[in-house]
């Protein structure tokens, strides 16, 4: 925050409650230097600044899917608030691969999203690799208005474009032994300066149960605001599981694995007492360091009451019957 000029609509980082508080102090010096350097550099030069200078950046291949946007809206999913303006949403992001502050927009433009390969492996009939453009071309794209609730107690609302995760589960043809789905983000230290911070368990990983992954609300996102996904949002493929805290919605996915054991996630590896596997939104279960009873609406400074399952209980409440002894809300 020392190197970051705050705009009127932003939540000051000292008032928000960052996921990485424990680690932020240790990384402050390094992060400050990197962010200051990036802020001073035009985005096109970010790669060579942080790429070690040994090999030049190959040009990014064109996105073949532009013509699929905007996609028709699925009206099943209603908002109880306005969509967060694109300009605000695009400049207040969590994407630790590009820095631990919220203004990673410039840094994230170094993310190269074409070519991009998604690997599907583990307990499936036939492991496969798919080019992102082939995947998007064959997917049933639709637009959905979703709320998003970060564990730090801020919230946004966004028009995502994408397709149900269930579509990909069906493509993968999992075996009966598959109980969980594990997601992984790219690993490329030359492209993502945050990944040089060695105390984080890169690459970012997340997980869902098979039942959660097959729920209609679990959405694979390829676009936002009627266009292909901006890099800061986790292009070219990110997850949206809006009944869970935002850290479950992993960005820039390169691998989806079907596994028998519950995967250990990125934040769980860092601090299991604060960021569990389930991470379902619940106003009555505080984070160990702050209340979850209310949230700040990004862009308006309005405070709203947090809703159980972030208001999506009618879709997902049934997933947790019989699991009451699990830590469902951390």
Residues 6+ apart with CB under 8 A from 17: 152, 153, 287, 289, 290
What would the x/- binding string for ligand MTE be over residues 82 to 111, using CB under 6 A? -----------xxxxx--------------
What would the x/- binding string for ligand MTE be over residues 15 to 44, using CB under 6 A? ----x-------------------------
Tell me if 74 is assigned to a ligand binding site: no
Give the nearer residue to ligand MTE in terms of CB position, either 174 or 212: 212
Residues 6+ apart with CB under 8 A from 213: 165, 166, 169, 181
CB atoms within 10 A of CB 131: 15
Q: Are 175 and 163 in contact (CB under 8 A)?
A: no
Q: How far is CA 10 from CA 91, 155, 228, in A?
A: 9, 12, 25
Question: Which of ligand MTE, Mo ion, none does residue 95 bind to, with CB < 5 to 8 Å depending on kind?
Answer: ligand MTE
Give the nearer residue to Mo ion in terms of CB position, either 112 or 147: 147
**Could you tell me the two tokens for 195?**
């990944």
Residue 40 CB burial class (10 angstroms; 0-12, 13-18, ≥19): exposed
Q: Are 143 and 127 in contact (CB under 8 A)?
A: no
Q: Indicate whether 239 belongs to the interface with Mo ion (CB under 5 A).
A: no
Tell me if 249 is assigned to a ligand binding site: yes
**Could you tell me the two tokens for 278?**
């389930």
Residues between 162 and 201 that touch ligand MTE (CB under 6 A): 185
Select from 16, 20, 31, 150 the one that contacts ligand MTE (CB under 6 A).
Answer: 150
Q: Indicate whether 320 belongs to the interface with Mo ion (CB under 5 A).
A: no
Residues that bind ligand MTE (CB under 6 A): 19, 93-97, 148, 150, 185, 204, 233-234, 246-247, 249-252
Residues that bind Mo ion (CB under 5 A): 94, 150, 246-247
Return binding residues for Mo-molybdopterin. 93, 96-97, 150, 185, 238, 249-251
């Amino acid at each position: 925050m020392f190197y970051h000029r705050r705009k009127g609509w932003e939540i000051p980082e000292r008032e928000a409650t960052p996921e990485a508080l424990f680690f932020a102090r240790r990384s402050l010096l390094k992060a400050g230097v990197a962010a200051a350097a990036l802020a001073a550099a035009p985005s096109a030069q970010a790669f060579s600044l942080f790429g070690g200078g040994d090999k030049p950046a190959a040009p990014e291949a064109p996105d073949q899917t532009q013509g699929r946007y905007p996609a028709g809206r699925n009206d099943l999913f209603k908002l109880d608030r306005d969509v967060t303006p694109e300009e605000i949403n695009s400049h207040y992001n969590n994407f630790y691969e590009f820095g631990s502050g919220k203004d990673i927009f410039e840094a994230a433009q170094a993310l190269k999203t074409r070519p991009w390969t998604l690997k599907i492996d583990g307990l499936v009939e036939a492991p496969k690799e798919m080019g992102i453009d082939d995947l998007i071309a064959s997917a049933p794209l639709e637009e959905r208005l979703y709320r998003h609730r970060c564990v730090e107690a801020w919230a946004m609302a966004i028009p995502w474009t994408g397709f149900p995760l269930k579509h990909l589960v069906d493509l993968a043809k999992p075996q009966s032994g598959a109980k969980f789905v594990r997601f992984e983000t790219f690993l490329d230290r030359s492209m993502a300066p945050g990944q040089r911070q060695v105390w984080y368990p890169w690459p970012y990983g997340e997980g869902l149960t098979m039942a959660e992954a097959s729920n209609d609300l679990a959405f694979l996102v390829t676009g936002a605001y009627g266009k292909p996904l901006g890099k800061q949002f986790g292009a070219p493929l990110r997850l949206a599981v809006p009944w869970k805290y935002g850290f479950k919605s992993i960005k820039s996915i390169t691998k989806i694995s079907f596994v028998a054991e519950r995967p250990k996630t990125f934040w769980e590896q860092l601090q299991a007492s604060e960021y569990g596997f389930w991470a379902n939104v619940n106003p009555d279960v505080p984070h160990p360091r702050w209340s979850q009873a209310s949230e700040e609406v990004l862009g308006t400074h309005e405070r709203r009451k947090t809703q159980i399952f972030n208001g999506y209980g009618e879709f997902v409440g049934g997933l947790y019957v019989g699991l009451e002894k699990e830590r469902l809300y951390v």
